Amino acid sequence: MKKTIAIIGSSRRNGNTGKLIDRIALDLNIEVIDLLAKDISAFDYEHNNIDDDFLPLMDHLLKHDNIIFASPVYWFAMSAQMKVFIDRLSDFLSVKALKDKGRGLKEKTGYIVSTSISKEIDDSFLDSFTNTFKYLGMGYGGGIHLNCKQGYDTKHSDIELANFIEKINQGSNKPLMI
């Protein structure tokens, strides 16, 4: 049985993205890690931040097969919290002692959970994740996007949510829009 975990990067834990990932996590019975609760600082060329929460978090994530990245769209892009985390993946490429551990990402599949106030998800948002997965040798399992223009409401999204959850369980590959 594949193991799945989620990380959320939003400026509020219990906002639209938080509610959506919690709904998905409840069905999948998985842990959701809040990047806001972690001390992870921006990428540092000198690696003076090597002892912050990034490496322990990665050790934990790497024990799972599927990693769900949950982020709102902020200015056509991922949230700042998620971007700081993604930037830190560069530690695996630039710290010699971490390169082996970084290769562990090649066996992982990434999924994307997003919210915004638009029906369609921006390519700029999606591509920054999928290109990162590709660069790191990770698989991309698909994504789900919820339009929260009228507030958080999934009452018309039960089928799409069920399909996304099924997709994670099966490991297929087609993005969904709701």
Ligand X SMILES: Cc1cc2nc3c(=O)[nH]c(=O)nc-3n(C[C@H](O)[C@H](O)[C@H](O)COP(=O)(O)O)c2cc1C
Q: Which of 30, 38, 83, 118 binds ligand X (CB under 6 A)?
A: 118
Kindly write out the interface string for residues 9-28 of this chain, putting x where it contacts ligand X by CB under 6 A and - elsewhere: -xxx--xxxx----------
Does position 115 interact with ligand X (CB under 6 A)? The reply is yes
Interaction residues for ligand X, span 138-177 (CB under 6 A): 148
Work out whether 76 is an interface residue with ligand X (CB under 6 A).
yes
Q: Which of 73, 78, 126, 168 binds ligand X (CB under 6 A)?
A: 73
Number of residues that bind ligand X (CB under 6 A): 17
The residue among 1 and 37 lying less far from ligand X, judged by its C-beta, is 37
Question: Which CB, 43 or 152, lies closer to ligand X?
Answer: 152
Residue 117 interacts with ligand X (CB under 6 A)? yes
Q: Which stretch binds ligand X (CB under 6 A): 61-69, 91-99, 111-119, 130-138?
A: 111-119
Angle, helices 158-170 vs 16-28, to 10°: value is 60
3-class secondary structure per residue, the chain: CCCEEEEECCCCCCCHHHHHHHHHHHHHCCCEEEHHHCCCCCCCCCCCCCCCCHHHHHHHHCCCCEEEEEEECECCECCHHHHHHHHHCCHHHHCHHHHHHHHHHHHCEEEEEEEECCCCCCHHHHHHHHHHHHHHCCEEEEEEEEECCCCCCCCCCHHHHHHHHHHHHHCCCCCCCC
- Given the rule CB under 6 A, which residues bind ligand X? 10-12, 15-18, 72-76, 115-118, 148
